[in-house]
Amino acid sequence: MEDAEHRYVAPGCTLCREGAKLVLFVTGRCDRDCWYCPLSAERKGVDRVFANDREVRTDEDLLAEARVMSALGTGVTGGDPLLAPERVARYCRLLKEAFGPDHQVHLYTGRAPTRAELLPLVGLVDELRLHPPHEDWARILETAYPEAIREARALGFAIGVEVPALPGVEGLAPLLPLVDFFNINELEWGEANADGMRERGLTLADRVGNAIAGARDWAAPLLDFERVRFCSSVFKDAVQLRGRMLRIARNTARPFDECTDDGTVVYGRLRPAGGVEPAIAALELEEDEYEVADDGLELAWWRLAEGRDTVEGEKAVVERYPNRGMIVEVTPL
Ligand code: SF4
């Protein structure tokens, strides 16, 4: 028997756990102003599109990002994606046409969507995740959300609630019999919501992560229900992000890159004092054993370590996120 954290997994979460879900941010616009909103200043209110961290300017940008991580599904997020419904439909159609109807799509919204809003998404979005406003939680049955859930179900969507762990989350319990799943995300401290957190006397759970002290206790009254799942901040970083990085590393690593269990790649970097060509000759590198990059010659870190006395120049071991992502560490050799 699984523990409360892992007992029930929504269909879209199964792929998320494997790091196989692309995150498609369709707009930073939102008609709400939640004090705990995690959106950064670069994204909040800004009408731009991102696939994971890549800005989408063309259809090919989106498809390339999906391919590089071998995405099996997409989570559509924002802002509120339903403020850009034509964009949502267009991108979801593009993804389903490119990767097949089984490419699973879930969509977050803060709205209680009407039948008219949902109809254009039939066949393009598989799963809906509703985020009712915090101020409505204690009177949720008097809001438009129960009707939205019934409409969504009648149209064939998998339907669930996804909210941050906040005091009063148990007020949403009357929705449990109506939904397929109910996800509670551990509230996270961020640059954008730090002032709101401080004003409410909230503090960090520990010195290493971003989780807020007390989040699990607020969720506790609901955790015994079968459909409820608590998604911890650590889980998101450790499992989801790592899984995605591993997939990207597998698809993009060069023959001489070493892939780590954390989803990073490690290689050697030489900035040769006497030019690239003499260094390649001195290290006796075959064609597929190096790459000339902007900042020098890149090769297997252990080849550089072995040959360190045969070439002059600045030598280092570089660890970074795959596909020339962020550099994590540079260790001089
Ligand atoms: S609904 Fe979501 S995106 Fe909109 S303000 Fe609230 S947390 Fe931010």
Identify the three-state secondary structure at position 43: coil
* Per-residue model confidence (pLDDT) at position 8: 54
pLDDT given at position 267: 97
At position 70, the amino acid (one-letter code) is S
CA distance to 75, 130, 171, 214, per residue, from 138 (Å): 28, 16, 5, 19
In the predicted structure, residue 6 carries a pLDDT above the cut 80? no
Question: So what CATH class is 11-249?
Answer: alpha beta
> Of 1, 2, 56, 14, nearest to 181 (Cα)?
14
How far, in Å, from the CA of 203 to the mean position of ligand 1?
21
Say if CB 127 and CB 11 are below 8 A apart: yes
The protein residue with its alpha carbon nearest to ligand 1, atom 1, reads 110
In eight-state DSSP terms, residue 187 is: P
What region, left, alpha or beta, does residue 192 occupy, with left being phi > 0 and alpha being psi -120 to 50 degrees? alpha
CB of 81 shorter than 6 A to ligand 1: no
Residue 108 has pLDDT above 60, yes or no: yes
Beta strands in the chain (DSSP E): 21-27, 50-51, 54-55, 73-78, 104-109, 127-130, 158-164, 181-185, 228-231, 258-259, 265-272, 290-293, 296-299, 313-320, 327-332
Give percent above pLDDT 70 in the chain.
97
Query: How many CB atoms within 10 Å of residue 37?
Result: 17
* Two tokens, residue 129: 């995740």
Q: Over the stretch 179-234, which tens digit does the pLDDT of each residue have?
A: 999 999 988 888 888 898 899 888 888 777 788 888 889 999 999 888 899 988 77
Contact 30 CB / ligand 1 (< 6 Å)? yes
Pick the atom of ligand 1 nearest to 31's CA: 4
Give the residue carrying structure tokens 């004092």.
273
- Taking each helix axis from N to C end, the angle separating 59-68 and 85-99, rounded to the nearest 10 degrees, works out to 50
Cβ-proximal residues to 285 (8 Å cutoff; 6+ apart), any chain: 299, 303
- Ligand 1 centroid–CA 297 distance in Å is 45
Whose alpha carbon is nearest atom 6 of ligand 1? Answer: 34
**Cβ–ligand 1 contact at 307 (below 6 Å):** no
Rounded distance from Cα 295 to ligand 1 centre (Å): 41
Tell me how far the alpha carbon of residue 76 lies from the centroid of ligand 1, in angstroms: 14
Q: Hey, which residues does 122 pair with through a beta bridge?
A: 125
Query: Is the model's pLDDT at 117 over the cut of 50?
Result: yes
- Ligand 1 pocket test: which of 26, 46, 77, 80 has the largest number of ligand atoms within 8 Å of its C-beta? 80
Q: Where are the domains of the chain?
A: 11-249, 255-332
Distance of CA 314 to the CA centre of its chain: 36
pLDDT score, position 4? 41
- Phi and psi torsions of 129, nearest 5°: -125, 115
Residue pLDDT, tens place only, 150-188: 999 999 999 999 999 999 999 999 999 999 999 999 888
Q: 2 CB under 6 A from ligand 1? A: no
How many angstroms separate the alpha carbon of residue 71 from the centre of ligand 1?
Answer: 25
From the list 283, 282, 292, 296, the residue with the least C-alpha distance to 254 is 292
Could you tell me the sign of the dihedral formed by the alpha carbons of 279, 285, 286, 291, in that order? negative
Relative orientation angle of helices 59-68 and 242-252, to the nearest 10 degrees: 100
CA 142 to ligand 1 centroid distance, Å: 21
pLDDT tens-place string over residues 224-257: 888 899 988 777 777 778 888 999 999 999 999 9
Q: Is 80 in the pocket of ligand 1 (CB under 6 A)?
A: yes
What is the bridge-based pairing of β-strands 313-320 and 327-332? antiparallel
Average pLDDT, the chain: 91
pLDDT tens sequence across 60-82: 999 999 999 999 999 999 999 99
At 9 the pLDDT is 67
Residue pair 52/23 in contact (Cβ under 8 Å)? The answer is yes
